[in-house]
């Protein structure tokens, strides 16, 4: 027996389970998703050692997706650096698309090898993944054999799960029942939309998949479900707080004897104890929590803040809040004045300052904060827009063809030498030949990636020109982590951080604007945020108190909640129209975007319009000044 105390030590955050009476399964909430992944990895390591001690194999059920990658990364590190021996591990993966070549970029066989199996010492004979390259006539037999293999291995000791935004576990879509076993299933529309980015278009997503059934999953001796990100919060609440039901198959996990949900703070955001804790526990009424509760009460009653009465607090079980304040009027006036003081008109915004706006993609600047950008320019601030990635993966091949036609038709206007024209026509033919034979999801050639990047760059410049800026105000950082030609990106590395750090040192801004919407379904916003945070930490050691104030904005998917926002920027109809005009300049993302995200068929300009008008309407409903639209921001000194 080998002993590795460092490996087997469990590190955890202090968990409070007060106020969990509406939660039907144990839920552990982590402020740091990395620590969450580490704790799950250590649970796996413990299990492997426990089984080794008694001379048995540890049987694991494994998922794919972005959430478990952190767990796999820790297990790889523990294997390489701490001597964790995984030779006694048997694995069964949850699912695979059908049909699917194991070598395909989207194959779960390839995912598991690239992210885990190729880096540890689990014997090949002990790895089991559903096969997507079977003849349809062989699928039923294979599924029966898969179930038999699980039983022959002694059953699954520990099963790790993710959760889809439809509430599926594995590919058990809404409507799946408790008795289902490994089988071929038709994918739900929402699942296909979520997978569209991996396949470069929903039309390329397979219609079916092979998945473990709900019954197979519930047979595991222990289950851990992992979830991160604000976009998972609504379905986590339903899976945890609603009774088991077929519409949310993850809710069936409530019937298991040993299941835990491991979630980060963002994914837990819709749970009652997080969103409205006063409904389930005694709380300490801080000013921030008092403000959140009063805003909630206003929304529940449909009354403006200053029209609320003492009886409203009692009817909605907020009498303890009243006890924490001298009287109702002082509480309401405090909240009202706090919110009113957060509204900043143009003459109250920055003037003559040096500003960097970090835009993860080449359109996030105008989609997310076009109103603020417009006012910063009008106030004569020295603004630099730093586009962190080239956005090439989100450009359709048809856009490349369109620009090739433009170049060919425009050649006579440039009066080019015949040899140059011949060389260009040869290059165009080569590019067309590649596009004509390109398979769905195939990585573009370096030339095509570059052309797509230049398309995005030109659109970005056109967008900021609407606001009065030009090409001299744009920096295209083209960060290395993004340059894979695939939806899946590389981890943030020292070179990425150095690029951001260099820009900070060069321009020495007093204010920076950063995308703080960690719900971005493709992960690029989260990764850009990480790179900026690391660079800013280094930069602070150099400049100390001269470090910039950080303004966090949110993107196409949601806006800051009223109680969390530090600043509201009012916008007139003309302001909003100018913002929309700037968004329109991003023609490759207009009408039909490559990666619109699931659940929402609106174009990006429509989402921005609706989000900004809804924020203004929410402020007006509270009794605050009425605006046509508004943007919201959070200000922090450190990230």
Active site residues: 173
What are the residues whose beta carbons fall under 8 Å from the beta carbon of 295, sequence distance 6 or more?
Answer: 305, 335, 562, 563, 622
Strands 629-636 and 549-553: antiparallel
- Round to whole Å and give the CA distance between 508 and 288: 33
- Is 326 strand, coil or helix? coil
Sheet holding 629-636, edge to edge: 474-476, 382-387, 354-359, 511-515, 549-553, 629-636, 567-571
What are 8's two structure tokens? 């087997």
Tokens 């967008």 map to which residue? 463
Place of tokens 């260099």: 502
Categorise residue 363: left if φ over 0, alpha if ψ from -120 to 50, beta otherwise: alpha
Q: Which long-range contacts (CB under 8 A, 24 or more apart) does 195-203 make?
A: 195/106, 196/595, 196/598, 197/487, 197/521, 197/522, 197/594, 197/595, 198/105, 198/106, 198/441, 198/487, 198/488, 199/106, 199/440, 199/441, 200/440, 200/441, 200/487, 200/594, 201/440, 201/594
Q: Is the peptide bond before 99 cis (omega within 30 degrees of 0)?
A: yes
The angle subtended at Cα 129 by Cα 127 and Cα 131, nearest 5°, is 135
Please state, in angstroms and rounded to a whole number, the distance separating the CA atoms of residues 378 and 374: 6
**Cα–Cα dist 316/325, whole Å:** 17
Q: Which helix (DSSP H) or strand (DSSP E) does residue 113 occupy?
A: helix 108-115
For residue 421, count CB atoms less than 10 angstroms from its CB and return exposed for 0-12, middle for 13-18, buried for 19 or more: middle
Structure tokens, 382: 């020295």
CA 194 to the chain's CA centroid: 12
Using alpha carbons, select from 127, 110, 24, 30 the residue that is nearest to residue 70.
30
Give the residue carrying structure tokens 């049909």: 99
Query: Whole-angstrom Cα distance, residue 440 to residue 201?
Result: 8
Residue 169: DSSP 8-state: B
d(Cα 308, Cα 295) in Å, to the nearest integer? 10
């Amino acid at each position: 027996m080998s002993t590795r105390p460092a490996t087997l030590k469990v590190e955890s955050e202090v968990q409070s389970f007060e106020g969990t009476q509406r939660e039907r399964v144990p839920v552990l909430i982590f402020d740091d998703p990395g620590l969450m992944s580490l704790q799950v990895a250590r649970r796996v390591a413990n299990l492997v050692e426990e089984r080794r001690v008694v001379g048995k194999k540890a049987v694991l059920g494994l998922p794919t997706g972005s959430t478990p990658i952190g767990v796999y990364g820790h297990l790889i590190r523990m294997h390489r650096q701490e001597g964790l021996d995984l030779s006694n591990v048997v694995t069964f993966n949850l699912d695979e698309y059908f049909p699917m070549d194991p070598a395909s970029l989207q194959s779960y066989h390839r995912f598991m090898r690239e992210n885990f199996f190729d880096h540890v010492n689990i014997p090949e004979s002990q790895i089991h993944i559903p096969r997507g390259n079977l003849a349809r006539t062989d699928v039923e037999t294979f599924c029966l054999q898969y179930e038999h293999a699980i039983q022959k291995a002694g059953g699954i000791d520990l099963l790790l799960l993710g959760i889809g935004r439809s509430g599926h576990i594995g590919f058990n879509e809404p409507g799946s029942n408790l008795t289902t076993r490994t089988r071929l299933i038709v994918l739900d529309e929402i699942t296909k939309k979520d997978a569209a980015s991996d396949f470069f278009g929903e039309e390329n997503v397979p219609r079916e998949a092979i998945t473990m059934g709900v019954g197979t999953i519930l047979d595991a001796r222990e289950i851990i479900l992992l979830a991160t990100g604000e976009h998972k919060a609504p379905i986590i609440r339903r899976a945890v707080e609603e009774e088991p039901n077929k519409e949310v198959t993850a809710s069936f996990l409530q019937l298991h004897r040993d299941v835990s949900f491991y979630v980060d703070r963002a994914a837990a955001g819709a749970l009652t104890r997080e969103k409205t804790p006063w409904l389930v526990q005694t709380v300490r009424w801080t000013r921030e929590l008092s403000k959140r509760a009063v805003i909630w009460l206003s929304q529940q009653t449909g009354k403006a803040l200053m029209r609320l009465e003492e009886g409203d607090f009692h009817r909605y079980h907020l009498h303890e809040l009243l006890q924490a304040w001298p009287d109702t009027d002082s509480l309401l006036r405090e909240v009202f004045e706090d919110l009113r003081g957060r509204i900043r008109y143009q003459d109250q915004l920055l003037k003559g300052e040096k500003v960097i706006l970090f835009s993860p993609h080449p359109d996030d600047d105008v989609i997310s904060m076009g109103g603020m950008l417009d006012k910063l320019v009008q106030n004569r601030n020295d603004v630099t827009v730093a586009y962190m990635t080239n956005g090439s993966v989100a450009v359709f091949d048809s856009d490349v063809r369109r620009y090739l036609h433009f170049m060919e038709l425009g050649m006579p206007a440039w009066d080019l030498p015949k040899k140059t024209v011949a060389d260009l026509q040869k290059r165009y033919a080569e590019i067309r030949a590649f596009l004509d034979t390109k398979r769905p999801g195939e990585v573009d050639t370096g030339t095509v990636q570059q052309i797509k990047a230049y398309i995005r760059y030109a659109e970005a410049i056109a967008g900021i020109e609407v606001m009065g800026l030009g090409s001299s105000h744009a920096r295209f950082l083209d960060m290395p982590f993004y340059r894979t030609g695939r939806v899946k990106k590389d981890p943030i590395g020292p070179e990425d951080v150095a690029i951001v750090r260099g820009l900070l040192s060069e321009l020495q801004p007093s204010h920076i604007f950063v995308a703080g919407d960690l719900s971005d379904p493709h992960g690029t916003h989260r990764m850009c945020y990480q790179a900026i945070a690391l660079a800013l930490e280094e930069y602070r050691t150099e400049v100390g108190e001269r470090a910039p104030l950080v303004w966090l904005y949110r993107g196409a998917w949601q806006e800051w909640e009223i109680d969390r926002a530090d600043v509201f920027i009012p916008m007139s109809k003309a302001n909003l129209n100018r913002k929309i005009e700037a968004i329109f300049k991003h023609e490759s993302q207009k009408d039909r975007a490559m990666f619109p995200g699931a659940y929402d068929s609106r174009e990006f300009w429509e989402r921005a319009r609706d989000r900004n008008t809804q924020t203004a309407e929410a402020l007006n409903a509270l009794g605050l000044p009425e605006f046509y639209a508004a943007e919201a921001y959070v200000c922090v000194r450190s990230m």
